[in-house]
Amino acid sequence: MQHSIAAATPGIVRGFVVEAGETVFEGAKLAFIEERPELGGAVQEEKKIDLDYIRPDLAEVLERHRRTTDAARPKAVEKRRATGQRTARENIGELVDPGSFIEYGALTLAARRRTTPMEQLIEQSPADGIILGLGTINGTDFPEEQGRAAVASYDYTVLAGTQGRNGHRKQDRFFELAHDLRIPLVLFAEGGGGRGSDSDAIGGSETDTFYRFAALSGGAPLIGIASGRCFAGNAVLLGCCDVIIATENANIGMAGPAMIEGGGLGVYKPEEIGPMKVQVASGVVDIAVRDEPEAVRVAKQYLSYFQGSVKQWSAADQRHLRHIVPENRLRGYDMRALIATLADEGSMLEIRRGWGHGMITALIRIEGKPMGVIANNPMHLGGAIDSDAADKAARFMQMCDAHDIPILSLNDNPGNMVGPEAEKSALVRHCCRSYLIGANIDVPLFFVIIRKAIGLGKLAMTGGGMKKGVFAVSWPTGEFAGMGIEGQVKLGRRKELAAIEDTAERIATYERFVAELYDIGKALNTGSHFQVDDVIDPAETRRWIVAGLRSVPPRPARHGKKRAWVDGW
């Protein structure tokens, strides 16, 4: 090492005691100096620094970084434009707050140095096809610590977004870091799965990526985005996310065409495997969007509910709620319109709309505060809870509980679905998920009966008990019974009705019996027996919810997970 040595006094060096290469011990004399006080202490002229000067070693690094950018890869960008898509870096740039993103492993190259020249690797495999980094999302709306986020994006312009050996090493490191930080993570999962052509290692099972990513579940929100082709390993990571957002052109499958053909299962085009018409209807995709810009916008909105409350909000005139449920108790109505009216304007984000049609699950805000909603859909099977509806509500409750989101349950159902055909769907097991999960969540639960509160169905919406939540209130349209009132009359009064020979008289008697049971089970009478906490004006529903939210003590800071994971289904 070379060191600068300053003389104690100004002067001129007249000779050296030691020679270059000699060992010098502490206290040894090095040189003879003729003292010259008139030099005024100016031992050496101060060297001016050019702040714009780039040293050769830094220039080399900056140039390598430049070659990872979109500007340095115009042909790759052109291919994305041809498919109507953006580059991975463009998506990340819109997702994170400006200037907040720092990338891990940007200089990593594909593990092919034994078979591919370095210059070719630099050109063809920047970041080994996986971009990872930390930043903030929605940082202008929430405090910096609440806006923190991690981002992982496969780059389809690099070897079709396949998963390389060095890319896996990057992910192993990054996902472990995300686990330790308990930080929300957004994953862009476009790609073709494992890459078998890397030549710098032996074997293909040394990665920890999949268990490390799956271990993130429950610690912080996981958001997956699919655009284009997402197969095999990429689909596995996507499927571990809390929510999957997918564009119209997405194809999602546990294997791509090559693996399907290799398994002897036929020859298919990528577009034939897991298109959106299949994956939305099957429940794989939670939110279907048009394109990548919309996917990024929805991802930011979804994450915002887990980042905290907002100060600015507005709400519709709540008197509209008095008129959503028809006076004709047999007529259907739009539960989604009810939720949108009840929630802060523009705050409703529905999850899994294309599947489990008997149940509506959504994230909303009430006076800026985030909440989850589970609601029966009276336009499908009269709101009866079938296997898909039960699964949909159960998983949504898990997700809300894992991340401390209060739940609002809007009840209008005639019970769990019944019948031989329904039982073929393993109805008993699926319906019971709602009870098991609902009974074991500890986030605040607010229960509002809109109309039908029949049999075990209402209990499925309350975690097994009407008094489990912060409150259970009913609108005046509420109907309480052990089973459907019409069916109860037909079965319980069968002999009496059958004994009436005159058809008109039989019908009139039947309607009288129904009216009697309805009077017994209507909300006002039920409230007088304190089966609910109150029967309220629908326009007062928000006031009850706000009062409930204010009454719940703040959640203590947690270290580690509350729930071990959020169920994949």
CA proximity to 228, closest of 244, 248, 254: 248
Instruction: Give the angle subtended at the CA of 398 by the CAs of 393 and 401, to the nearest 5°.
Output: 120
Q: Are 393 and 374 in contact (CB under 8 A)?
A: yes
- Confidence at 202, pLDDT banded by 50, 70, 90: low
- Residue 95 and residue 138: Cα distance in Å, rounded? 9
Candidate ranges 159-168, 188-197, 298-307; pick with highest mean pLDDT: 298-307
Q: Where do we find the tokens 């209130």? A: 473
State residue 487's pLDDT score: 79
CA proximity to 537, closest of 448, 470, 462: 448
Write the Ramachandran bin of 532: left for phi over 0, alpha for psi from -120 to 50, otherwise beta.
beta
β 369-376/359-366 pair status: antiparallel
Looking at the chain, the whole-number percentage of residues with pLDDT higher than 90 is: 76
CA atoms within 13 A on the CB side of 530: 0
- Confidence at 193, pLDDT banded by 50, 70, 90: confident
Q: Are 163 and 197 in contact (CB under 8 A)?
A: no
Q: Are 203 and 179 in contact (CB under 8 A)?
A: no
Whether the per-residue pLDDT at 148 is higher than 80: the answer is yes
Q: Are 543 and 406 in contact (CB under 8 A)?
A: no
| φ and ψ at residue 149, rounded to 5 degrees | -160, 160
- Confidence at 53, pLDDT banded by 50, 70, 90: very high
Per-residue tokens: 54: 């780039």
- Confidence at 46, pLDDT banded by 50, 70, 90: low
Q: What does the pLDDT look like over 445-477, one tens digit per residue?
A: 999 999 999 989 999 999 888 888 999 999 999
Q: What does the pLDDT look like over 505-524, one tens digit per residue?
A: 888 888 888 888 888 889 99
- Residue 373 and residue 383: Cα distance in Å, rounded? 15
Q: How many CB atoms lie within 10 A of CB 1?
A: 2
| Residues present in the chain in total | 569
Q: Are 130 and 157 in contact (CB under 8 A)?
A: no
Q: What does the pLDDT look like over 380-438, one tens digit per residue?
A: 999 999 999 999 999 999 999 999 999 999 999 999 998 999 999 999 999 999 999 99
Using CA of residue 182, residue 187, residue 193, residue 196, what is the dihedral sign?
negative
Q: Are 446 and 407 in contact (CB under 8 A)?
A: yes
Using CA of residue 493, residue 496, residue 502, residue 505, what is the dihedral sign?
negative
